[in-house]
Amino acid sequence: MRVSLSRSLRLASLLTKPKSFQFHHFTTTTTATPEQSSDSTRDRPDPPPIRVGLTDSAGRGVFATRPIGAGELIHTAKPAVCYPSLNVLHTVCYYCLRRISNPNGAEAQRVSFCSEDCKRRCMEFYDVETKADWAAFDDYCRTHDLKYPFMVKRLACMIISGVASSDILDILQPANLTSQMISRMEEEYGLLRNAFRKTLISDEHVAFLTKQWYIGVLARIRINAFRIELAAGLYEDLLSSAAASVEAEAAVGHAVYILPSFYNHDCDPNAHIIWIDNADAKLKALRDVDEGEELRICYIDASLDRDARQELLSRGFGFQCNCNRCLHGD
């Protein structure tokens, strides 16, 4: 996903050797029937009808392995890491980003959860987060209007607590960084590292937290993070709505996924990613898709004119779109 033509050759060189792609953050809703499977595998979800492969011009992409009908759920995906938007921090679940109507109790002044299950899952790494004083790091990020460093902070806590591995995002394509971006990231890294250094967390548990790791993770988050906007109505009501713009402020948070990050962009997409009530993503077909056809989503507001779309894609994702719609000036 979000791979420019200029970076495709580098991806191709990485993929020329046989490589096994294992995606642990997606599911489908279809289960095998008793006639098709034994008792031990009856409830195991079928793999989604897709494969990841190389495209002619955009690096990796997602392709249909069978005909997919319009409106069909292709697969769902849970985030590898997510974090709520600061402006809704106290009105969404700190774990799954579900909206909470009435946060209550003293805990609501810090973070809130939509269920005991989310609270239990979050506490696995939230306990690590509460050991550190984040005042300097958080203030720096807020002052500079930064959102992605908070995702790195959460991922670091997840790794320290043992619920994630330090290389979980390595398979994703990183953004190209300017020297100015790297300098700012080095400042962020120093603040993050100092926050952990002042805790009782052992050096062994934070050995992964190097400057190189921080910059590498942030570079991947920058170009692969999805802005989570929860649907207000049924999916059918959304078919006429394009993905929101890069600068929209209606998000409940941001998330990075593994498999959805391999979907390339098209201004006239055949697939759509939506969020109904939390950060679990749903990929659905917008029209009939043939076997072998590449599945593409739209990263931005498809209703914009060509020049506006090109500007947003260049500024937000670092590539020039050459889809049929753009080539025809639509």
Residues 172 and 215 in one domain: yes
The structural domain count of the chain equals: 2
Distance from C-alpha of 117 to C-alpha of 155, rounded to nearest angstrom: 19
Residues 13 and 123 in one domain: no
**Residue 299 counted as domain residue:** yes
Residues 64 and 27 in one domain: yes
**Residue 190 counted as domain residue:** yes
Residues 66 and 137 in one domain: no
What does pTM read for this prediction?
0.81
**Residue 253 counted as domain residue:** no
Distance from C-alpha of 264 to C-alpha of 1, rounded to nearest angstrom: 5
**Residue 283 counted as domain residue:** yes
Residues 37 and 87 in one domain: no
Residues 276 and 158 in one domain: no
Inter-residue contact 330 to 306 (CB < 8 Å):
yes
Residues 199 and 264 in one domain: no
DSSP for 266-310?
-SS-SEEEEBSSSS-EEEEESS-B-TTPEEEE-SS-TTS-HHHHH
Instruction: Output the domain CATH number for residue 301.
Output: 2.170.270.10
**Residue 67 counted as domain residue:** yes
Distance from C-alpha of 149 to C-alpha of 133, rounded to nearest angstrom: 15
**Residue 240 counted as domain residue:** no
Residues 286 and 311 in one domain: yes
Alpha helices in the chain (DSSP H): 5-15, 116-129, 135-143, 148-161, 179-197, 211-224, 306-317, 324-327
pLDDT for 103: 63
Q: Which domain holds residue 38?
A: 5-74+259-327
Q: pLDDT digit of tens for each residue in the chain (330 aa)?
A: 444 333 333 333 333 333 334 444 444 444 344 454 455 556 667 889 999 999 988 889 999 999 999 999 999 999 999 999 999 998 999 999 999 977 655 444 579 999 999 999 999 999 999 999 999 999 999 999 999 999 999 999 999 999 999 999 999 999 989 999 999 999 999 999 999 998 989 999 999 999 999 999 999 999 999 999 998 544 444 444 443 333 344 689 999 999 999 999 999 999 999 999 999 999 999 999 999 999 999 998 889 999 999 998 888 788 889 888 999 888
**Beta-carbon contacts of residue 66 (< 8 Å; ≥ 6 apart):** 49, 291
Residues 93 and 55 in one domain: no
State how far the alpha carbon of 16 is from the alpha carbons of 20, 58, 63, 131, 282, in Å.
12, 15, 18, 44, 30
Domain boundary among 224, 243, 278: 224
Residues 88 and 62 in one domain: no
Residues 157 and 264 in one domain: no
**Residue 233 counted as domain residue:** no
Residues 285 and 321 in one domain: yes
Domain boundary among 224, 241, 276: 224
Domain boundary among 224, 248, 275: 224
**Residue 273 counted as domain residue:** yes
